[in-house]
Structure formats: C-alpha cells, structure tokens
Amino acid sequence: MTKNIPQMDDTIAAIATAIGPGGIGIVRISGPLAIKIACKIFISSRGKKSVRLQSHRVYHGHICNSDTNDVIDEVLITIMRGPKSYTCEDVVEISSHGGLMAVKAILELVIALGARLAQPGEFTRRAFLNGRLDLVQAEAVLDIIQAKTQSSLRVSTHQLKGELTLQLEKIRTDLLEAYIRLEALVNFPEDGIEDRGRNEVSSRLLDAKMKINTLLAESNQGRLLREGAKLVLCGRPNVGKSSLLNVLLKQPRAIVSEVAGTTRDTIEESAQINGIPFQIVDTAGILEPRDIIEEEAVKRSRLHMQSADLVLLTFSASERIVKDDMKIMKFLEGQNILVVINKSDLPSILLDQDIKAFLPQHKIVRVSAATRAGINELESAIEQNILKGRTVDTTQILLTNTRHIEALKNAVEFIIESEQFLQNNLSLEFISENLKDALAALDRITGRDVDADLLDNIFSTFCIGK
C-alpha cells in the first residue's frame, strides 16, 4: 500500500537550485495557482503590477510581500503555461540572487499564498503522470543530475531523448503482434491455419528475443557507467593498500603508516579511472582479529571482497609470499583478480613466477605508490579488465539501470518459455498467459503498467525541486 500518494490537483513549489552561495537561485512553482501567485508577488520593472503575464516570456522586476510591501529581491521570472511546460501544468520559475535567504523568503511567500512544498522528484513525477515523459525518461533526468562521468551523461541524454523508449516500443510491437496472432488462433481454431499461425508467432518471438538480447549484451557496461564498478584493495598488512587508494583517489584519504594493521575499518570512496566511475574500497589487511572491532573489520572486508567487480590483490615487491598471502588467495578463489606488486622502488625480492605459481592466468602490474611509477599502467589494466577490452560506445542505446535490466531479463524468460511451449505443442492459452506476462514486464520499464509504490521508490531518490 502506498502511504503517501501526492495529490495532483494542487500547486507545488520548491527551491530548484542547490542550497548555498551561488550566482542565482531558482524557486519553481507548478500547478493551477502558479501564475496567480506570481501575479500577487511580482512587480514588473515597468512599475505597475503585471496582471497578464504571457507564456514563454521572461520578465524583470521585484518580488514583494503584498501585505507589507517589503521588497524581497530583484528577479527574473519565467512563465510557462501548461501544457507547454516541464510538468504540463502552469509553471513559474523565479530566478533571484543566489544564497539561501532570498530563495527561502520567496518560497515562504509562495507557500503562504497557497502552494505546498513539493516532495522530492514531484515535478518530474507530474511530468510522468501527465504523459510528458515516460518512466525511462524520468529516470534519465535523475541520471543526468547524478552523472559522474561524461560518458554516463551522454548515455542518459540519449535516454532522455527517448531513444531507449523507441527500442522498447519496437520490442513491444513484436510481442503484441505475437499475442494478437495467438489470440486469433485461440479464438478461431477452425480456420485450419494453425501451423502457419504458430510459425508467425514463433518468428515474432524470435525478433523480440533478439532485440532484448542485444540490449542485455551491453547492459553490464551500461550499468558500470551508471553505478560504477566496485574495486576492492586487499592484501596482507603493510603492502601499501591504503597508499594505493590515496594514489588512485589523488588525495590523502586513508591513513598510511609502517605499523601493520593501520586500516581497521573499511574505507569506501568514489573515483573516476580513465572516465569510468568506481567505488574503491580499502580493506583491513589483518587476518587474525585480536578484538571484536577487528573481528567486525575482517567480516566487512570479506563481504566487500566477495561483492567486488575487481579485486586488486596487492603484494610488496620487497617481501616473499608467506602463508597469509596464500590464505587470502584461497579466500579469493573464483574472483576477478588483478595482481599488483607495490613498492617497486625497493629491491625486488618477489618475482612474477612466485605469483604465477599460484595465479597462473592473472595479469601482474608492478607499481610504486611512493614514486607513482606504473600507476598509469595500473589504471589502464583496471580499465581493460572492467571493459573486457571493449570500448563503451556511448552513442548506442545502452541499458544502464538495474531496474530495466531485471525487467528485460524477466521478459526474455517468459519469451523463451513461450517458445518452448510452442515447440512442444502445448495449449495456446498457456502461451498467451506467458506473453501477457512478458508484455507486463516490458510495460513496467516505461511505466505503462506501474504501481504507486514503485513510483514512490523511483521519485524519492530525486532531489527536491526536480
């Protein structure tokens, strides 16, 4: 059950710019009262109250408290009458001087005149509910705001333009045609065209499946662009994990010292490596916890190692492999590992073949966190490992959102099952039910078929004012 479905027929308002010192600040108002409120508080620079504010015009003037006649700030206001606006409703944007006080005072005035404070993402939610954007495009708006790299920005912009939606619509048409043909077979079985009909359904299903699989094939790359890959530094104490974290972050984030066991709690930071967003985790090197704090640290480190997209297994060039290294390697069996031999500035005791004896297939990169030698090579090796040698073509349609990926996987499962039913000559009603489920999975992505809880979930991650 949804606790809190926002109304649609009232007027909402919010500060749409980031809070804090800045050149300008914007208060955004949307709904039936938006223009009426603007008329009450805005005095145009021509001196008289502007009663008729025209759509898609910008006016210069002042915001005044109509009760006290106090001037609050000099502003530009933009009028956009619905449906030609972001929300399809009447929208007014008041651009005042930046900083908190002016925008806050304007917002308070607007609220006092009958608007209500918007919930996070409520402007975009209205744009969706009024048919201005579908759900994929609404989510793309959020991704653009939160983009961490140029490439993720580019992919989200394509999604906002509706390119992914168009592709999903093509898949939907295939499925719908398969469904309609199937229904015809169910309802007019006497026509004697069953074989031909089944073939047509089959061929439509194949088309849909191929289109979905093409999208899914690149989805891992897309997801990495949006959410970032998880990179976990591990290795025994003192090999220089925290030093490497600092080098990759280009700032001294973690404490580094010659004392073994310096890092106790795991440290997580976001960074970009060669244009790919990463979540980098520095773990505790200790293997045998001496107290409950260390016990917790070891537990957390292990959880991170297990969920890593890539583990940077770190050694020191000045030390041979010892039992503890072997324990770590055993724990990491089956993980995606890149071997890093740090401290290459010191005389090298650890040889590549010492490592290859245990990890014959894994790439080894020698670096020095102290002198930064080899760091570029390390960054390229990380990039290659994550992209598996492929470049991400940000001009193509990419799935980036886990919600979309899961729904498409779901749809393809129903399609494959339907194909099997068809091959085994099972009752057409079964197949028909399956196709309805496949269509529903697809419609959850674009929001054609979506419940209020899911909407709450999506829009609550937006900022207020968007």
Ligand X SMILES: Nc1nc2c(ncn2[C@@H]2O[C@H](COP(=O)(O)OP(=O)(O)OP(=O)(O)O)[C@@H](O)[C@H]2O)c(=O)[nH]1
Q: Site residues (CB under 5 A) for Mg ion?
A: 241-242, 262-263
Using rule CB under 6 A, residue 346 touches ligand X: yes
Q: Decide whether 138 or 245 has the Cβ nearer to ligand X.
A: 245
- Residue 330 C-beta: closest distance to ligand X, Å: 18
Structure token pair of residue 188 = 């007019």
Whichever of 96 and 242 has its CB closer to Mg ion, that residue is 242
The one segment of 5-13, 131-139, 340-348, 451-459 that binds ligand X by CB under 6 A: 340-348
Nearer to ligand X, 338 or 422 (CB): 338
Element housing 344 (H / E): none
Of 78, 87, 156, 342, the residue at the interface with ligand X (CB under 6 A) is 342
Q: Which is nearer to ligand X, 141 or 239 (CB)?
A: 239
Q: Which of 111, 144, 9 is nearest to 463 (CA)?
A: 144
Give the x-and-dash track for 284-323 against ligand X (CB under 6 A): xx--------------------------------------
Task: Name which of 140 and 341 has its Cβ closer to ligand X.
Answer: 341
For ligand X, which is the closer residue by CB, 159 or 342?
A: 342
Candidate ranges 79-87, 113-121, 232-240, 442-450; the one touching ligand X (CB under 6 A): 232-240
CB of 326 to ligand X, least distance (A): 17
Residue holding tokens 């020191």?
316
Note whether 311 and 305 are within 8 A (CB).
Answer: yes
Q: How far is the CB of 281 from Mg ion (least distance, A)?
A: 11
Least separation in angstroms between residue 306's CB and ligand X is 19
Full strand arrangement of the beta sheet holding 116-117: 42-44, 57-64, 71-80, 91-97, 24-30, 12-15, 116-117
Site string for ligand X, 168-207 (x = CB under 6 A): ----------------------------------------
- Strand segments, DSSP code E, in 224-301 are 229-234, 267-273, 276-282
**Residue nearest to ligand X as judged by C-beta position:** 285
Closer CB to ligand X, 63 or 297, in the complex: 297
| Distance from C-alpha of 351 to C-alpha of 126, rounded to nearest angstrom | 62
Q: Minimum CB separation from ligand X for residue 255, in Å?
A: 7
Number of residues that bind ligand X (CB under 6 A): 23
Q: Which is nearer to Mg ion, 263 or 432 (CB)?
A: 263
Distance in Å, CB of 363 to ligand X, minimum: 19
Which C-beta is closer to ligand X: that of 18 or that of 293?
293
Map 418-443 to HEC letters. HHHHHHCCCCHHHHHHHHHHHHHHHH
CA 325/CA 339 separation, integer angstroms: 12
Length of the chain: 466
CA distance 362 to 145: 38
Which H helix or E strand runs over 78? Answer: strand 71-80
How far apart CA 172 and CA 442 sit, in angstroms, is 7
Q: Which is nearer to ligand X, 285 or 447 (CB)?
A: 285
Least distance from ligand X to the Cβ atom of residue 246, Å? 8
Residue 209's nearest CA partner among 434, 428, 402 is 434
Task: Write down the least CB distance from residue 359 to ligand X, Å.
Answer: 19
Place of tokens 């014959």: 360
Residue 72: in which H helix or E strand, if any?
strand 71-80
126 contact, one of Mg ion, ligand X, none, CB 5-8 Å limit per kind: none
Distance in angstroms (rounded) separating the CA atoms of residues 123 and 62: 25
In the list Mg ion, ligand X, none, the entry touching 368 (Cβ below 5 to 8 angstroms by class) is ligand X
Give the residue carrying structure tokens 């106090």: 70
- In degrees, rounded to 5, the angle at the alpha carbon of residue 164 between the alpha carbons of residues 411 and 162 is 135
The least distance separating ligand X from the CB of residue 341, rounded to whole angstroms, comes to 10
Gyration radius of the chain over CA positions: 29
Judged on CB neighbours under 10 Å (0-12, 13-18, 19+), 158 is: middle
Interacting residues of 429 by C-beta distance below 8 A, sequence separation 6+:
186
Q: How far is the CB of 360 from ligand X (least distance, A)?
A: 25
Give min distance, CB of 383 to ligand X, in A: 21
x/- string (CB under 6 A) for ligand X, residues 242-281? xx------------xxx-xxxx------------------
Backbone angles phi, psi at 419, to 5 degrees: -60, -40
Both tokens of 247, joined, read 């080098």
Angle between helices 34-41 and 100-112 (to 10 degrees): 120
Considering beta carbons, is residue 284 or 350 the nearer one to ligand X? 284
Q: Report the interface residues with ligand X, using CB under 6 A.
A: 237-243, 256-258, 260-263, 284-285, 342-343, 345-346, 368-370
